[in-house]
Structure 1
Amino acid sequence: MVYQEGIFVPLAWNDLRGLSVGVLGVGAEGLETAYRLNKLGIPFQSFTTDSQENLAELLKCQVVITSPGIPKNSAVIRNLVKNNTRVVTGLDLWLHSRDSLENVVLVSGTKGKSTTSALLCELLRAAGKTAFLCGNVGTPPWGREADSLAQEPDFWVVETSSYQAANLTTAAPLVIITSLSADHLTWHGSLQNYYEDKLSICTKYTPCTVIANGDSQELKKYQHLMGSDVRWVSLNDKLASELRPHLNIFGEHNVRNALLAVAALSQLGVKLERQKLYSVLQNFKSLRHRLEVVGSVGAVVFVDDTLSTNCLSTIEGIHAIKGPLALLLGGADRGIDYDSLAKEICDRLEATIVVTMPENGARIAKAITDRLDSANCHIVALFQAVSLSAAVAVSFQYLSGSGGTVLLSPAAPSFGSFRNYKEKSDCFRSCVEELNTANLRV
């Protein structure tokens, strides 16, 4: 398509001097971009959204720095490109502004990138190196927090979303790909586009080594998009058996995340004594909203996995929980097929209660219902709740006698019923606190 040809022109921050600049999107990243431009003394105009109302003013800009949430195929972006306006991103500007990219690691994947990024930073620090975790985690490497560092870190570990990857014109010598499955289809336009955008960072820097999840059939299928130097890690590796007993967070997928981080450490030429490696794994805590235990009421444990917004991540969460399970599903509907999730739920060999919530709860429930006649299905109840609080209440009611785990792992984004995943998580935690208070009165 015409608007994809040359849409992102390589520019560094200093190249913006003397040009008319617009900043499109004033979220967290947009504010840090404004900070950088102000520090450089570069005048700019801010635009809140990519609405048609802003188009006339945007077309007056020679360069528009867009935030990741603005789809590259939106009508406004297409018009800017047709007008020969250079459309860039803060991350691309930062990468092109660096004298060297040898100490930059880009970490991407449908799920697992945050944990892998954080774990790699901890391993680097245990080896006596300084490491700065940034990118999609909410801290742009060109922002105020990065500027507050006393000196350049030994390594920059940049969590990179598919939105960010799609808009880059360069990348880094080392890329980690944690997983690949359907997500963000509205933004990318199709599953094929999503896969191509996500994996594009593997071939935007030469030479590039890619460390990837060798247990992912999708990644193996799309290996041709990952360059010529791909190094696979797998749960079948001998190292997995060595690391597993030391890891203090839920799930086999986190064993794999640890393998990816250790492989990256080796590729960077950083040595770490085995006992220090084990110590990092033992002390590493679940990141917030990722299989995070938020409380218990009697024998019922409540786990917040709100950031599981697609089938793959929720499936990993299901695999991580042992014993009776109440699974809370549902959120904004992005048109994703839930058959793979339904199959995993129905194939689970322990007692499972499923509670779906708006807005896509009915679609998820139907996908599960279509498989309920499976001979090995252990689903003991399937409910469609009107709200998260109702879902928590019915889950607790079912598990309070026998005990078990209530897992909030929506397989969908939070917006719609909630402003964002944090608000959804806060609601979940409040429900747990209320149950605890009520339980104390009994």
Structure 2
Amino acid sequence: METPNNIANQKLPLQGAGGLLVVLGAGESGTGAAYLAKQQGYDVFVSDFGAISDKYKTQLSNWGIRFEEKQHTEAEILSASEIVKSPGIPDKAPIIKKIKEKGIALISEIEFAGRYTDAKMICITGSNGKTTTTSLTYHILKNAGLNVGLAGNIGKSFAYQVATEQFDYYVLEISSFMLDNMYKFKADIAVLLNITPDHLDRYDYKMENYTASKFRIAQNQTAADYFIYCADDPETIKGIAEREIEAQLLTFSIEKKVERGAYLDQQDLIINATLEHFKMSLNKLALQGKHNIYNSMASGITSKVLDIRNKTIRDSMEDFQNIEHRLEFVGKISGISFINDSKATNVNSTWYALESMSNNVILILGGVDKGNDYNMLKELVKQKVKSIVCMGKDNNRIHDAFEDDVDVIVNTSSASEAVQVAYHLATKGDTVLLSPACASFDLFESYEDRGNQFKQAIKEL
């Protein structure tokens, strides 16, 4: 087992239970937080304004935790000493406004769970690439023999793992929604991959508000910690110039050589974050495409900071398999390739997907449009896309954006119909790419549901 170097980890003293703790939202995050709170001696009440899945209802019942669904009992919620909020609940929700008016502490699951572990925290955020980077970093650390957990926006709830496991490290994928209610939690290693417009409806349509949310990942860091960021990302560079970050700064770039971090030397990835440098040929990386070089750089720097051996990093980067629903190769039928990128819920993600494709793409777009600006896709669409298949209830903005760039734009209303239409539009050598650039909630339960229906439809061709 490899022993990482010592990263200072100044945690707050563990806080004991006190009074009623309410958890809003009974998904993976909320149910895990409820379990941890119960373990720590709190009186726990879970409230979900929507329906709770049978899986989580069974868990809450088995744990003896009170819960309600399809309503919020305000009298009970507003009597809480503290409230843990699901990241999916917006600040404009009526119950959140009332909680704030009453001055009750409102925190995220990450904030709550962080109180009850002294594990080292490797926290990864960004508009795009965070799930891949988090998974790759975890893969490297696991291969190095470290006792490490994977949580946040991925896998089992962080709080549930804190309650049931004894990990020395956590690799956490952290969204801006989680960061918004994070106050005293500290990342030992913070990674900010990029900042591009996303979820602006949650930030008063102001980019500076969204940027401020992302930079919360660096709050509470000390000079003994690390902040890893992309030197090629304009919003990140602008944000750093406007802030004082206490942590040691490490950068990565594919455009220039950096003093301390990661960069390209022709076809080699170089990491010079520590005294022992790392070098690897780009063509050996399991993850290909420009965006994945950035993801690999961020994971590589993190691994070097933790003193993981070069061979372990190299082997892990060679044999890593990408996550489900992120540029996932589904199969080939009649010489036509099918790729599931359902996790691309914003325009920038779809840009990255198209950037990694060769020509002759049948692109499946559409869903809940979050105020998308499709202009950044236009050049790639002109170069690489033969036809667009829309999969959503309202496709007008997609038609308006691309009607001059492709010959065929077809509307469909299900994954099955979209796959069948795309298959008939494609010829041998083409690629059918599901990369919607939109949220999934008009036709599907989640992006996972959308991706799974896409894959099932391919099986039925």
TM-score range normalised by the length of the shorter chain:
0.7 to 0.9
Does residue 114 (structure 1) correspond to residue 94 (structure 2)? The answer is no
Q: Secondary structure at the match of 2:171?
A: strand
Does residue 142 (structure 1) correspond to residue 166 (structure 2)? The answer is no
Residues in 2 aligned to 1:344 and 1:278: alpha-carbon distance in whole angstroms: 32
Q: Secondary structure at the match of 2:359?
A: coil
TM-aligned CA distance change 1:75 to 1:343, over 3 Å: farther
Deviates more, 1:31-40 or 1:125-134: 125-134
Does residue 271 (structure 1) correspond to residue 308 (structure 2)? The answer is yes
> 2:81 is matched with which residue?
62
Q: Is the 8 A contact 1:199 1:225 kept in 2?
A: no
Paired letter, 2:409: L
TM-aligned CA distance change 1:148 to 1:41, over 3 Å: closer
Does residue 306 (structure 1) correspond to residue 346 (structure 2)? The answer is no
Residues in 1 aligned to 2:301 and 2:44: alpha-carbon distance in whole angstroms: 42
> 2:100 is matched with which residue?
81
Residues in 2 aligned to 1:164 and 1:19: alpha-carbon distance in whole angstroms: 24
1:185 to 200, 217, 224: 200
Does residue 344 (structure 1) correspond to residue 380 (structure 2)? The answer is yes
Q: Secondary structure at the match of 1:175?
A: strand
Q: Percent identity?
A: 26
Does residue 204 (structure 1) correspond to residue 230 (structure 2)? The answer is no
Alpha-carbon displacement from aligned partner over 1:341-370 (angstroms, at most 9, x marks no partner): 234322x2x45222222234220221122x
> 1:6 is matched with which residue?
none
> 1:329 is matched with which residue?
365
Alpha-carbon displacement from aligned partner over 1:192-211 (angstroms, at most 9, x marks no partner): 32221122212333334321
> 1:384 is matched with which residue?
411
Does residue 168 (structure 1) correspond to residue 195 (structure 2)? The answer is no
Residues in 1 aligned to 2:450 and 2:433: alpha-carbon distance in whole angstroms: 13
Q: Secondary structure at the match of 2:76?
A: helix
Shift of 1:71: 1.9
> 1:251 is matched with which residue?
289
Alpha-carbon displacement from aligned partner over 1:231-256 (angstroms, at most 9, x marks no partner): 22012422537341111234221121
2:389 to 355, 365, 374: 355
1:421 to 443, 447, 450: 447
Does residue 72 (structure 1) correspond to residue 88 (structure 2)? The answer is no
Residues in 2 aligned to 1:404 and 1:148: alpha-carbon distance in whole angstroms: 47
TM-aligned CA distance change 1:152 to 1:430, over 3 Å: closer
Shift of 1:336: 2.2
Paired letter, 2:43: P
1:364 to 392, 398, 420: 398
Paired letter, 1:187: R
> 1:3 is matched with which residue?
none
Q: Secondary structure at the match of 1:14?
A: coil
Residues in 2 aligned to 1:305 and 1:344: alpha-carbon distance in whole angstroms: 16
Matches within 5 A, 1:36-51: 36-49=36-49
2:356 to 313, 320, 324: 320
Residues in 2 aligned to 1:363 and 1:93: alpha-carbon distance in whole angstroms: 40
Q: Secondary structure at the match of 1:240?
A: strand
TM-aligned CA distance change 1:21 to 1:126, over 3 Å: closer
Shift of 1:403: 2.3
Alpha-carbon displacement from aligned partner over 1:401-428 (angstroms, at most 9, x marks no partner): x321100000001111111112211221
Residues in 2 aligned to 1:127 and 1:138: alpha-carbon distance in whole angstroms: 20
Q: Is the 8 A contact 1:211 1:260 kept in 2?
A: yes
Paired letter, 1:163: F
Residues in 1 aligned to 2:131 and 2:458: alpha-carbon distance in whole angstroms: 26
Q: Is the 8 A contact 1:13 1:93 kept in 2?
A: no
Paired letter, 1:127: A
Q: Structure 1: give runs of 5+ residues left out of the alignment.
A: 1-9, 436-442
Q: Is the 8 A contact 1:202 1:226 kept in 2?
A: no
Alpha-carbon displacement from aligned partner over 1:81-126 (angstroms, at most 9, x marks no partner): 2212121222112223344x6x211100111111111111222233
1:95 to 92, 105, 114: 114
Deviates more, 1:411-420 or 1:38-47: 38-47
> 1:5 is matched with which residue?
none
Residues in 1 aligned to 2:39 and 2:308: alpha-carbon distance in whole angstroms: 38
> 2:15 is matched with which residue?
14
- TM-align CA RMSD: 2.4
Shift of 1:132: 1.3
Q: Secondary structure at the match of 2:158?
A: coil
> 1:234 is matched with which residue?
253
> 2:64 is matched with which residue?
none
Q: Secondary structure at the match of 1:156?
A: strand
Q: Is the 8 A contact 1:202 1:227 kept in 2?
A: no
Shift of 1:292: 0.3
TM-score (norm: length of structure 2): 0.82
TM-aligned CA distance change 1:424 to 1:13, over 3 Å: farther
Structure with bigger helix share is: 1
TM-score (norm: length of structure 1): 0.85
Q: Is the 8 A contact 2:121 2:189 kept in 1?
A: yes
Residues in 1 aligned to 2:402 and 2:243: alpha-carbon distance in whole angstroms: 34
TM-aligned CA distance change 1:359 to 1:206, over 3 Å: farther
Paired letter, 1:333: D
